[in-house]
Structure 1
């Protein structure tokens, strides 16, 4: 048996480190991560949710730039048009409310102004429009309570603008058509009839409808 002489040609087997000592950096595989290098699971899991909220916020802001929304409309948009869950939607709605971006009372005032000044609508039609936009009943009632009780005056103003267009019709047809237009704008039957008769009577002297 050859004697061991400890010459330079004799090489020792690699020594395995004990008690978890780190191997040489050159042999360290990137996949072997220490506890300090491990990213917390909660951080990684929260990133997609945070991105979804940011995307939803931008989408809602774009929608609000195009058209003022009620709280109900904004909530419906977020629930159907984004990936947010209901609790996230509620939090975002609250935040937009705090910023003043969503305010049902302000929306109600805007809708009433447009209805009375540009559309010549009556109280009943305005109430229906507010309900269709998702404005809560108590907010709608409060806003309508500030509206002057001038349905008769607004009905007459609207009827005057339309009476001149009915000159080619006989009396009964002109009255029926004008009352129908007033009713579609939310004026009660008695208000519509009074306004229509008055407008058509005023138009007689101008060579329009010969109203009896």
Structure 2
């Protein structure tokens, strides 16, 4: 059984307005659990099928336009929210933020605009994140701790030099470095 596109008034199968209404309900349910980009919403609608019938491209565009007019879909707003969340909750750098937005199907110009609003303080954010993780690495030797911390920072989208500098500074501050404090050794 082949799937047919509905929405062009071909008169076969299910009522196109009912199919559209059901597809809109599905999209609303998805939006209740997670904000979607226009691209993600288009994929949801494009994949919706009822009785082997799908919405055609113009019906999908109409639904997307309607949801945009109502304010349910907005790539610019979503990008801003994802950038804020990525910075505040995940400690991500610009590279990781850009990648996350791109994976959600947000257009490059919207990504660039969202990242333009981010202060260029990757070094400070990387150091803050590194400080929060450095104490937990006190049981490790300094080389292992440095390697692991640089890896964590790199996975969060900080470039190599920023990651290395932040990791070394944080580990030094948390007493891994030789100049960070006095250590007593029992000679018995």
Q: Structure 1 length normalisation: TM-score?
A: 0.75
Instruction: Give how far 1:161 is off.
Output: 0.7
| Counterpart in the other structure of 1:120 | 91
Superposition misfits of 4+ residues, deviation over 2 angstroms = 44-47, 209-212
In the alignment, is residue 110 of structure 1 matched against residue 81 of structure 2? yes
How far apart are the structure 2 equivalents of 1:211 and 1:80? 59
| Counterpart in the other structure of 2:41 | 74
How far apart are the structure 2 equivalents of 1:64 and 1:211? 53
1:74-95 CA-to-partner distances (Å, cap 9, x unmatched) read 0011001232111100110011
| Counterpart in the other structure of 1:25 | none
Instruction: Give how far 1:47 is off.
Output: 7.4
How far apart are the structure 2 equivalents of 1:115 and 1:211? 34
Higher Rg: 1
| Counterpart in the other structure of 1:154 | 125
**Alignment length (residue pairs):** 166
Structure 2, unmatched stretches of 5+, are: 1-8, 180-188
How far apart are the structure 2 equivalents of 1:187 and 1:49? 49
How far apart are the structure 2 equivalents of 1:77 and 1:117? 29
How far apart are the structure 1 equivalents of 2:177 and 2:68? 56
Q: RMSD of the alignment, in Å?
A: 1.7
Q: More relative contact order in 1 or in 2 (CA 8 Å, sep 6+)?
A: 2
In the alignment, is residue 88 of structure 1 matched against residue 76 of structure 2? no
How far apart are the structure 2 equivalents of 1:211 and 1:48? 76
Structure 1, unmatched stretches of 5+, are: 1-41
SS in 1 for 2:84: helix
| Counterpart in the other structure of 2:19 | 52
How far apart are the structure 2 equivalents of 1:193 and 1:210? 14
1:171 and 1:211 in contact (8 A); partners too: no
Q: Structure 2 length normalisation: TM-score?
A: 0.84
SS in 1 for 2:36: coil
How far apart are the structure 1 equivalents of 2:19 and 2:70? 20
How far apart are the structure 2 equivalents of 1:108 and 1:93? 17
